[in-house]
Chains A and B, each alone.
Chain A
């Protein structure tokens, strides 16, 4: 998921940086003081999630949890992922500072899109059903992120078929694991702190009641 420095072409890097700046702007505007601790908490979760290697099959993939961030934060996923990736680049040398923009965009765009989609399925009356649907959606969000990584490699002149095959294949087990983890967390939150979903967006409050 983390593209290293020196792999991508300059236009791709600039486009990624542009998208990230716009996303950060919208995200920062939509977050009020009450939501800041949530964004920070999920940013910390994202920061360590990449260290968790899921040893299934021959692939070596790690958790991303961008689906979970999207569901809980909406546009706030942009700042959360940006901060997490920035610290990963500095402390772990994952990715890099020049690829920070494109990496943020690759992981945050699916988070926001699927987060908005997933809100339609959150229901307190059917907690198990909604957590399963959200788990599946978060797995799709991870695949979407993998597809964006393959696309950015393709636009930089790499063979798209090879890259996408590799990336998508490597992410099948991780998507399954991530779907299960996300479904578990959503189920837990629906039980313990259901207002977290209502706090995200005022529209959802009416929907839930």
Chain B
């Protein structure tokens, strides 16, 4: 009896895995109907980009920029590469809402993080975060570097980091094979639960 059941329903058990896996062969690098938005403060500007989960840029998508008090500051569009840039007007927390059409939407909140760190002030009232590490450095220490030099030096150091963060944030939005397999697992689990309750219900009915 049990063997006959297995033979009869083996086709189902096999096709349970085969059919979705066959579909997967079409295109494993998945395209998803989901948009992501990624933005960061870059000096006096805010830069960012919008893209679908497989990395295709979201072109000509609308982005609304809101302040902390939910007033709309800008309404702009992404360029051909899905990038955008604007002047934050001195605000330190901004909410960006991306609308890529056809009901696709994503939001992100960015912050300079300056308030959270509590900037230390020196004895003469300067913003002076190096106070404890280097006592000889004061406001009057002669320094041959202009602000522009420092900026370009920092740019040199930070650009690779920015790129890395961008890559990581894009990777985190990607769908992995693990997600797909776990979905199958959940569906099999739901099927098992469903059959369990059905059999209990039916055995109660026949009793």
Contact = CB atoms under 8 A, between A and B. Distances in A.
Contact of B12 (A38, A45, A149): A38
A170 B102 contact: yes
Interface string B169-207: 000010100011011101110110011001100100000
A52 B105 contact: no
A37 B12 contact: yes
Contacts, number: 127
Contact of B191 (A4, A36, A93, A94): A36
Contacts of B188: 40
B121 to A, nearest CB: 41
Contacts of A152: 103
Contact of B102 (A39, A50, A53, A163): A163
Contact of B180 (A1, A4, A33, A48): A48
A2 B100 CA distance: 13
14 contacts: A1-B33, A7-B99, A33-B199, A37-B12, A37-B16, A40-B187, A44-B16, A48-B23, A49-B23, A50-B33, A53-B54, A63-B23, A91-B179, A92-B175
The 7 residue pairs across chains A and B that have the minimum distance between CB atoms? A53-B31, A3-B103, A40-B191, A51-B30, A4-B105, A48-B20, A91-B179
Given A40-B194, A44-B184, A53-B27, 4 more contacts: A41-B19, A52-B27, A87-B183, A149-B102
Interface of B: 9, 11-13, 15-16, 19-20, 23-24, 26-27, 30-35, 52-54, 56, 99, 101-107, 173, 175, 179-180, 182-184, 186-188, 190-191, 194-195, 198-199, 202
